[in-house]
Amino acid sequence: MKLITIRHGLTPSNQAGILQGQRVDDKLSPEGHQQAERLAQEIGEKSESVAAIYSSPLRRTKETAEYVSKVLGLPIIEKEEIKERDFGTLSGKTWSEIPENKDNQLKQKDKAFVYDYRPFGGESVSQVRQRLQSFLEFVRQKHEAENIICVTHGGILRLLYDELRQTQPKELPPGSVHIFNI
Convert the pLDDT of each residue in 96-146 to its tens digit: 999 888 888 999 999 999 999 999 999 999 999 999 999 999 999 999 999
The confidence score (pLDDT) of residue 64 equals 98
The confidence score (pLDDT) of residue 13 equals 97
Report the chain's mean pLDDT, rounded to a whole number. Answer: 95
CB 34 within 8 A of CB 50: no
Residue 71: domain span = 2-181
Where is 43: in which H helix or E strand? Answer: helix 30-46
The confidence score (pLDDT) of residue 154 equals 96
How many separate domains does the chain show?
A: 1
CB 182 within 8 A of CB 164: yes
Q: What CA–CA distance (Å, rounded) separates 92 from 19? A: 5
> Taking the CA of residue 19 as centre, how many other CA atoms within 13 Å lie in the half-sphere pointing to its CB?
21
Angstrom distances, CA of residue 133 to CA of 42, 81, 137, 167, 176: 28, 9, 6, 18, 22
CATH code assigned at 172: 3.40.50.1240
Average pLDDT over residues 46-51: 85
Give the model's confidence band at 78: pLDDT under 50 very low, under 70 low, under 90 confident, else very high: very high
Other residues' Cβ atoms within 10 Å of the Cβ of residue 77: 12
171 belongs to the catalytic site: no
The confidence score (pLDDT) of residue 48 equals 78
pTM: 0.95
Convert the pLDDT of each residue in 16-47 to its tens digit: 999 999 999 999 999 999 999 999 999 988 86
The catalytic residue among 63, 66, 81, 84 is 84
Which residue spans within 103-161 are E strands per DSSP? 147-152
Q: What CA–CA distance (Å, rounded) separates 28 from 153? A: 13
Q: Which residues contact 57 (CB under 8 A, 6 or more apart)?
A: 78, 79, 80, 83
153 belongs to the catalytic site: no
The confidence score (pLDDT) of residue 23 equals 96
